[in-house]
Amino acid sequence: MADRESVLKPVSIGLLGLGTVGGGTVRVLTRNAGEITRRAGRAIQIVAASARDLERPRICDTDGIRLTTDSRSIVTDPAVDIVVELIGGLDPARALVFEALENGKHVVTANKMLIALHGNEIFAKAREKGLMVAFEAAVAGGIPIIKAIREGLAGNKVEWLAGIINGTCNFILTEMWEKGRDFADVLAEAQGLGYAEADPTFDVEGIDAAHKLTILASIAFGIPLQFDKVYVEGISGITALDVAYAEALGYRIKLLGIARRSLEGIELRVHPTLIPERRLIANVNGVMNAIVVKGDAVGPTLYYGAGAGAEPTASSVVADIVDVVRTLTSDPENRVPHLAFQPGAIADLPILPISEVETAYYLRLSAEDRPGVLADVTRILANHGISIEAIIQKEPLNGESRLPIILLTHKVRERELNDAVAQIEALATISGPVKRIRMETLG
């Protein structure tokens, strides 16, 4: 008697995009076809793929795949069951995804910007049509973080999560820390490594991390995707000096995406952050990604791996394809919900403005070297109820008469700190703006 796998017809994939991730996906699906079929219960075949330029050299073998420059011909192809969108960006990816759903095709995408900005409408359309939209590869490349939060931690109330979710920034900060190099110098090298976005300001100004944080927060807390409410600050203002001072105090500087549930609402923020060097996540270096998720039942959990690259990202894309194939026969109402929580149970919790967020701070001031300067500074902090955790005073830098003072504060509400810093900056003995970097113990 024929077994079930041999009687079900293969599932047909249409790929949009044959670049790094598209090529990696073809390679992984081909190389591991036997294992993947054993897991999915059906054979999976790529029937068609679109690319902007068909003459470009590829990292994969495309024999047997219909190649075209016409992406619409894929989303309208009656032979295609699942459309895999690996073009990136909003245009034309957004229109193609909607057209694929309109034509009754399930969608797998690695497009973080598309999901962060338009996911709410995309999932509504998918629900209306009884289709799946899977997006594991959109956050932290090969790390199965979406599945971990949505399914593995489903018994928990998530309290907070904090992640290194942009490999380019982590590479830059690692080089600055290990070799004392300057930001601009390392950025050029990071672009050459092929991890950076087409527009590298998306990486260094924190926008790419904010797209990913938007998605993580939504599935962690059951809230709508709200990219426009994320506080975003990048790493372009971080100097090698700050990295070295932080190290002297026992901290590393990382670009973190942080989502935290507080009594007043949800904190959503991306910014450079001092983390105690004893934390595992502080030791995640180079282009690697890692996310700590704190659940009330499980405690802190850490997920680490490659956040970009052809095959790591393909690993997530293929896992999504297998998930879609496995659930093809299940009733749409009983599938895992797109945003982890049942659509009717998504809660509109308030997102806190950054002025209401409480964090500890690293402050660096440039001060005149004379009696009373430090006393003036600490009095201002005390008047605002800001308590100091550590203070160091360094020798003046070469040729300068002013000396750097570095202060670490305990937790303070940001609006209080803003007032205190404005008063410190107004002191005649302090020059230039006070450099400030938020600090998290992640305890």
* Smallest distance from ligand HSE to CB 169, Å: 7
- The residue (of 14 and 141) whose beta carbon lies closer to ligand HSE is 141
Using DSSP's 3-state secondary structure scheme, residue 43 falls into coil
Under a CB-based contact definition with an 8 Å cutoff, are residues 206 and 200 in contact? no
Binding residues for ligand HSE restricted to 364-403, rule: CB under 6 A: none
Q: What is d(CA 291, CA 151) in angstroms, rounded to the nearest whole number?
A: 16
The DSSP symbol for 78 reads: T
The residues, ordered by sequence, that sit 6+ positions from 257 with a Cβ below 8 Å of its Cβ are 162, 163, 165, 209, 210, 212, 213, 216, 269, 270
Chosen residue from 25, 109, 168, 218 binding ligand HSE by CB under 6 A = 168
In whole angstroms, the minimum distance from the beta carbon of 184 to ligand HSE comes to 17
Number of residues binding to ligand HSE, judged by CB under 6 A: 11
C-alpha closest to that of 140 among 171, 166, 119, 111: 166
Q: Is 212 noted as a catalytic residue in this protein?
A: yes
CB of 285 to ligand HSE, least distance (A): 14
Q: Name the catalytic one among 147, 212, 254, 294.
A: 212
Say how many C-beta atoms besides its own lie within 10 A of residue 326's C-beta.
14
Q: Considering only 10-18, 153-161, 191-199, 234-242, which stretch makes contact with ligand HSE by CB under 6 A?
A: 191-199
| Binding of residue 88 to ligand HSE (CB under 6 A) | no
Q: Which of 79, 100, 85, 72 is nearest to 25 (CA)?
A: 85
Which residue type does 395 have? Answer: E
Nearer to ligand HSE, 24 or 295 (CB): 24
Q: Before 144, cis peptide (omega within 30)?
A: no
Among 85, 203, 311, 440, binds ligand HSE (CB under 6 A): 203
Min separation Cβ 212 and ligand HSE, Å: 7
Shortest reach from residue 31's CB to ligand HSE, in Å: 22
* Tokens standing for residue 301: 């959990």
Backbone phi, psi, residue 112, to 5°: -65, -40
Tell me if 126 sits within 8 A of 272, measured CB to CB. no
Taking the complex as a whole, how short is the minimal distance between the CB of residue 83 and ligand HSE, in angstroms?
A: 20
Nearest CA to 83 among 112, 60, 106?
106
Please identify, among the stretches 36-44, 162-170, 268-276, 415-423, the one whose residues bind ligand HSE according to the rule CB under 6 A.
162-170
For residue 316 the two structure tokens come to 């997530």
Main-chain dihedrals φ then ψ at residue 290, nearest 5 degrees: -160, 145
> Which lies closer to ligand HSE via its Cβ, residue 208 or residue 242?
208
Cβ 413 vs Cβ 358: under 8 Å: yes
Residue from 167, 206, 234, 305 touching ligand HSE (CB under 6 A): that is: 167
- The contact pattern for ligand HSE, residues 304-333, with x = CB under 6 A and - = no contact, is ---xx-------------------------
Distance in Å, CB of 392 to ligand HSE, minimum: 33
Q: Of 12-20, 160-168, 241-249, 406-414, which part binds ligand HSE (CB under 6 A)?
A: 160-168
Its sign, for the CA torsion 340, 343, 347, 351, is positive
Count Cβ neighbours within 10 Å for each residue of 217-227 and write b for 16 or more, e otherwise: bbbbbbbbbbb
x/- binding map, residues 106-145, to ligand HSE, per CB under 6 A? -----------------------------------x----
Q: Looking at beta carbons only, is 187 or 354 nearer to ligand HSE? A: 187
**Where along the sequence are the contacts to ligand HSE (CB under 6 A)?**
141, 166-168, 195-197, 203, 208, 307-308
Q: Looking at the annotation, which residues are catalytic? A: 212
